[in-house]
């Protein structure tokens, strides 16, 4: 699996906010087997984790950093934050968020497309946090995005996959574009369901960081991702409206036919 020019083996991306302590965060990242961690420049700079100590903890994880523009509500704000992140972390990667509504934290897809085009033209490799809308997806790809990150549900809601039909349609329409379900994942079963739809990866934060035992929950998600991926690769059976006996009558000894 490639994200732009980088080969990635882990299908789980994990956030770095909301943990009880930096030490537990590092343990959870290790337990998740994630190779990519997201960092919010705006949010972390306003908390007690801010400064060089927090950045050194992130570097100690050994994971690749995906800075994000969380909390940005305008194109200008998102572009400025992305430039700051590139300077600090020395990476062209950016998870682009342009929030359009406060209660649901739904993306402003119009601002998102505009910001994606500006950043792509400036050499950024953009990971856009978007909806499952097919038209928006086309415009983001035309703007230079080679990855799409549709939401499963509102950020931090833990509701799982709210629109399975929409997510399945997105996968079908863009078979060659890496797709990452981002936001709303609450349980390992939600992550497995995303992988069973054929998605390439899952990004989450709150479900692990706010769990009673973040490290154990990170392990659970790692297992769920692997299980869902193998399920998709195994080509599961189609759903049926009627029952189908697992033991057919044909070919059975006559004394077993009454019990088939």
Catalytic residue among 95, 210, 219, 239: 95
Phi–psi pair at 40, nearest 5 degrees: -95, 115
Is 183 one of the annotated binding-site residues?
A: yes
Cβ 111 vs Cβ 75: under 8 Å: yes
Is 144 one of the annotated binding-site residues?
A: no
Is 234 one of the annotated binding-site residues?
A: no
Is 31 one of the annotated binding-site residues?
A: no
Give the Å distances, CA to CA, from 123 to 21, 23, 28, 208: 35, 34, 32, 32
Long-range CB pairs of 169-175 (<8 Å, 24+ gap) are 169/132, 169/134, 170/132, 170/134, 170/137, 171/197, 171/198, 171/199, 173/134, 173/137, 174/137, 174/141, 174/148
User: Radius of gyration over alpha carbons of the chain, in Å?
Assistant: 21
Is 123 one of the annotated binding-site residues?
A: no
The alpha carbon torsion through 209, 214, 215, 216 (nearest 10 deg) reads -140
How far apart are the C-alpha atoms of 130 and 172, rounded to whole Å? 17
59 is annotated as an active-site residue: no
- Residue numbers belonging to the annotated binding site for 1-deoxy-D-xylulose 5-phosphate: 156, 183-184, 205-206
- Residue numbers belonging to the annotated binding site: 156, 183-184, 205-206
Which residues carry out catalysis?
Answer: 95
């Amino acid at each position: 699996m490639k994200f732009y020019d980088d080969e990635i083996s882990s299908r789980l991306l994990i956030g770095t906010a909301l943990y009880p302590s930096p030490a537990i965060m590092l343990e959870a990242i290790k337990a998740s087997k994630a190779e990519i961690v997201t960092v919010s420049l705006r949010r972390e700079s306003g908390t007690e984790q801010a400064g060089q100590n927090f950045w050194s903890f992130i570097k100690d994880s050994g994971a690749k950093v995906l800075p994000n523009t969380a909390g940005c509500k305008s194109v200008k704000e998102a572009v400025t934050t992305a430039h700051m992140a590139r300077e600090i972390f020395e990476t062209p990667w950016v998870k682009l968020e342009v929030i359009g509504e406060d209660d649901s934290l739904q993306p402003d897809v119009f601002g998102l497309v505009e910001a994606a085009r500006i950043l792509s033209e400036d050499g950024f490799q953009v990971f856009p946090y978007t909806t499952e809308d097919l038209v928006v997806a086309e415009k983001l790809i035309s703007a230079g995005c080679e990855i799409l990150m549709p939401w499963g549900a509102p950020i931090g809601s833990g509701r799982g996959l709210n629109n399975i039909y929409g997510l399945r349609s997105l996968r079908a329409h863009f078979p060659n574009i890496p797709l990452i379900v981002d936001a709303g994942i609450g349980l390992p079963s939600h992550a497995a369901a995303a992988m069973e739809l054929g998605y390439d990866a899952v990004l989450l934060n709150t479900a692990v960081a706010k769990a009673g035992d973040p490290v154990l929950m990170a392990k659970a998600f790692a297992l769920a991702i692997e299980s869902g991926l193998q399920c998709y690769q195994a080509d599961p059976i189609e759903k049926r409206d009627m029952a189908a006996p697992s033991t057919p009558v044909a070919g059975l000894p006559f004394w077993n036919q009454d019990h088939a």
